[in-house]
C-alpha cells in the first residue's frame, strides 16, 4: 500500500469516518448534560468499539497504527505511555518497540476491554486516568509518549489550557524522551484541521518542547517533539527560527 495514497484506503473506509462522526456527535450531546469524562464512558458502555478502531471492515485505522509505529525513531524505548489509549490497539503496536507500555484512558470501560483484549502482551498494562489530572507517580518515567486523536476531546481547549497541558505532559518525560502528537488533518483550511494545527503549534511553541519532525498522511498530522529537560540552562530551542 502506498503511504502517500491521497484518498481513502478503500471505499469501505468511508464507513469508518461516518461511524466516527456519529460517535463524536453523540459525545457532543452527552457532554453538555453529563460532562466530558462521563460522556466518554457512556459511548464505550453503549458500543464495544465507538470509533471502529479494531473493526476488520476498515483498513484505515489499522494502517495508521502501522505507519505510526514504523515511523518511530529507530531505538528501543524503556517506558512508553499511550495517553487516551481507548481499546489499546496502538498501545499494542508500541509494545514491540518498548520494554513496557502503559495505556491510559479516562473511560474505565475502555480500559477494562483493553486489559482483556491484550492480556497476551506481557509488557502492556492499562490504567484509568484523566489526562487533565494525571498522578505525580507518572512524572519523569517515560521516554516515549503517544497522544493520538485525543486532545480535541478536551474542553475547554483554549490557549491557556493547551499551555497547562503541554507543560504537564512534558513533566511525564524522562530525560531524552519524546512525545508524538497525532491528530486528524484534512486540508489546511477546514476547521478540524485548523484546530489540530493549533494544538500541535501550542506544543511546538511551548518552552517545554523542541520540534523534531512533522509529517502528514491522509488524514492525519504527526508531530514529534523532544522534551527540554535542561529548562534552566537552555534557551528556547524550537527549530523554527522566528514565530510569526
Residue 153 Cβ, how far from ligand SAM at the closest point, in Å? 4
Quick check: 90 binds ligand SAM (CB under 6 A)? yes
> What angle (nearest 5°) sits at the alpha carbon of residue 95, between those of residues 92 and 97?
135
- Applying CB under 6 A, among 80, 110, 180, 181 the residue interacting with ligand SAM is 110
What is the pairing mode between strands 142-148 and 98-105?
unpaired
With CB under 6 A as the contact rule, the residue among 39, 81, 89, 172 that binds ligand SAM is 89
Q: Order the strands of the 209-217 sheet from edge to edge.
A: 124-128, 98-105, 77-83, 142-148, 173-185, 219-227, 209-217
Interaction between residue 27 and ligand SAM (CB under 6 A): no
Which residue, 108, 91, 106, 107, is CA-closest to 145? 91
Q: Is 152 in the site for ligand SAM (CB under 6 A)?
A: no
Q: How far is the CB of 234 from ligand SAM (least distance, A)?
A: 30
Q: What are phi and psi of 81, to 5 degrees?
A: -125, 125
User: How many residues bind ligand SAM, per CB under 6 A?
Assistant: 20
- Which has the closest alpha carbon to 170: 127, 222, 205? 205
SS3 state at 9: coil
Q: Which stretch binds ligand SAM (CB under 6 A): 84-92, 164-172, 183-191, 224-232?
A: 84-92
**Burial of residue 174, with CB atoms counted within 10 A of its CB: 0-12 exposed, 13-18 middle, 19 or more buried:** middle
Q: Determine the interface stretch with ligand SAM among 71-79, 92-100, 148-156, 204-212 (rule: CB under 6 A).
A: 148-156
* Region of 126-134, 173-181, 213-221, 224-232 interacting with ligand SAM (CB under 6 A): 126-134
CB of 136 to ligand SAM, least distance (A): 16
Region from 100-108, 165-173, 183-191, 231-239 binding ligand SAM, contact rule CB under 6 A: 100-108
Judged by DSSP in three states, 61 sits in helix
Are β-strands 209-217 and 219-227 bridged in parallel, bridged antiparallel, or unpaired? Answer: antiparallel
**Taking the CB of residue 162, how many other CB atoms lie within 10 A of it?**
21
Kindly state the smallest distance separating residue 115's Cβ from ligand SAM, in Å: 14
Ranges within 40-79 binding ligand SAM (CB under 6 A):
40, 51, 53
Q: How far is the CB of 129 from ligand SAM (least distance, A)?
A: 6
Instruction: Give the binding site for ligand SAM (CB under 6 A).
Output: 40, 51, 53, 84-86, 89-90, 105-107, 110, 130-132, 148-150, 153-154
Amino acid at each position: 500500500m502506498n503511504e502517500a495514497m491521497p484518498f481513502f484506503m478503500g471505499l469501505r473506509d468511508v464507513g469508518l469516518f461516518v461511524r466516527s462522526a456519529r460517535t463524536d456527535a453523540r459525545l457532543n450531546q452527552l457532554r453538555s448534560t453529563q460532562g466530558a469524562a462521563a460522556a466518554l464512558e457512556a459511548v464505550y458502555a453503549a458500543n464495544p468499539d465507538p470509533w471502529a478502531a479494531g473493526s476488520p471492515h476498515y483498513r484505515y485505522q489499522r494502517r495508521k497504527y502501522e505507519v505510526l509505529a514504523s515511523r518511530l525513531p529507530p531505538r528501543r524505548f524503556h517506558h512508553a505511555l499511550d495517553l487516551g489509549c481507548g481499546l489499546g490497539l496502538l498501545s499494542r503496536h508500541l509494545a514491540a518497540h518498548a520494554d513496557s507500555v502503559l495505556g491510559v484512558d479516562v473511560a474505565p470501560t475502555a480500559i477494562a476491554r483493553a486489559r482483556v483484549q491484550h492480556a497476551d502482551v506481557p509488557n502492556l498494562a492499562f490504567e484509568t486516568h484523566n489526562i487533565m489530572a494525571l498522578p505525580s507517580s507518572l512524572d519523569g518515567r517515560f521516554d516515549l509518549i503517544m497522544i493520538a486523536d485525543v486532545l480535541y476531546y478536551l474542553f475547554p481547549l483554549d490557549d491557556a489550557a493547551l499551555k497547562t497541558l503541554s507543560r504537564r505532559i512534558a513533566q511525564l518525560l524522562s530525560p531524552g524522551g519524546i512525545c508524538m502528537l497525532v491528530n486528524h488533518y484534512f486540508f489546511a483550511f477546514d476547521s478540524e484541521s485548523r484546530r489540530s494545527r493549533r494544538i500541535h503549534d501550542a506544543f511546538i511553541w511551548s518552552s517545554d518542547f523542541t520540534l523534531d519532525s512533522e509529517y502528514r498522511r491522509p488524514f492525519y498530522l504527526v508531530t514529534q517533539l523532544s522534551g527540554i529537560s535542561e529548562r534552566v540552562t537552555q534557551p528556547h530551542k524550537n527549530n523554527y527560527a522566528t514565530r510569526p
